[in-house]
Structure 1
Amino acid sequence: MPGVVLRAHVAARQVRITAIGDLHASNAHLLLKMAVAALRSYPVTCLEIDLAGLGSIDDVGSSALEVCRRHCRSRKISFRVTGLAKAVRAAIIAAGQHHVLQRPQRRMLTGPSGPRSTLGCRTTGHATTSPRPHVHPKWLCHKAF
């Protein structure tokens, strides 16, 4: 059974792990080891797993991605999977791990008036809770502090 080659690249508080080959039960633990080691070794805010070079993935490989996502979530680190071929995406969905493919939520700042995004209101120049500041209701666009 063909193996997998994993490469890690660390830059600007982000770790990108690139997988090339086939991710199966015999080698899925290597992805977990590399991800956990990278997150412990570097002060990162984002883990990206690039699967563009992946030929196939099985249920255990999909579960390894889920464990990486949970590990990132417990450390409040952004997690994303990129470069998916249609066959790999279908295999992940068939394994029941479709939530691994969801895009990460925008990071929110918390202030005296509750959570706010980093976007500013275009009309008054202060932060709002809306990701689209030109479409939010007026009651979200007030200065409470």
Structure 2
Amino acid sequence: MRQREPRTRVRLPARLNAGRRWCDATIHNLSRTGIMFSADEGLDGGEYLELRRGKHVMIARIVWSDGSFCGARMQDPICVADIVADRPTPKRPNASVERRRLPRAQAAERSRATGRLLDYCLCAAALMAGAGVLATSAYDALAGSLRAVETGLKR
């Protein structure tokens, strides 16, 4: 069984927009990638919603609902402590796009594979160019011979 992320039990007021209209909601627990809340409106699984707490805007997709309670998975990871304290999260450039560095062995293997592919493409291009030169030479030789035969037949 997969280990769940730790949840922080809270009781925080929030505003919710699930595409219809804004309504009040109460956040009951938070994790880095998930949230459980209750709302006056009944929501269906699979719906996308916007949840606002102070200056924090969280986009999530509902994964389960039971009456007025719902659980949703966040689009981007959140800082639970900042949401609970209602303080702004420091902005990082390209926060939603995390750059992952490959281990050296994987990076080296990827580089070797790219080099082999480039070698293959260059060899194939050289062979195609050579074949084109040979075809042009053969055409010129045969065309000259056929012209000579044609002029001989016209006499």
Shorter-chain TM-score: which interval?
under 0.3
Using the size of structure 1 for normalisation, the TM-score is: 0.25
Q: Which has the larger radius of gyration?
A: 2
Using the size of structure 2 for normalisation, the TM-score is: 0.24
